[in-house]
Amino acid sequence: MSASTGHQASQNPPARPQVPLRRLFLLTVLTAAIAFALQATLAATGAPSAEAISLLVIPVAAGAVIFFGLRPYPLAGRLRLAAMVAVALFLVGLGL
């Protein structure tokens, strides 16, 4: 291995993981299905604090699906995206 070959290899940045569009779509569908199932379960059981539970549980569950579903991404990116999904669903639940 010559010095120029080693120098060129160190200049190339590592490849960033790519998540296929199909996987993102399936995660979106899975998140919506889990949110719908949780909401339907709370409505069917008539839980006394169903609104508060759904306001907290559904965003956390959606964030968990995104976090664990995007395994090829680095940890910081998964945490950021999961937090954005959870906050967005929380705000939607508030009616904002």
pLDDT digit string, tens, across residues 18-50: 777 888 888 889 888 888 888 888 888 887 888
What pLDDT does 75 receive? 92
Quote the pTM value: 0.69
What pLDDT does 13 receive? 72
Half-sphere exposure (Cβ direction) of 34: Cα atoms closer than 13 Å: 17
- Higher-pLDDT residue of 3, 69: 69
Per-residue confidence band for 3, with pLDDT thresholds at 50, 70 and 90:
low
For the stretch 31-38, contacts whose Cβ atoms lie closer than 8 Å and that sit 24 or more positions apart, written own/partner, are: 31/61, 31/62, 31/65, 31/66, 31/85, 34/58, 34/61, 34/62, 34/65, 35/61, 35/62, 35/89
The arithmetic mean of pLDDT across residues 5-30, rounded, is 74
- Per the prediction, the chain carries an average pLDDT of 82
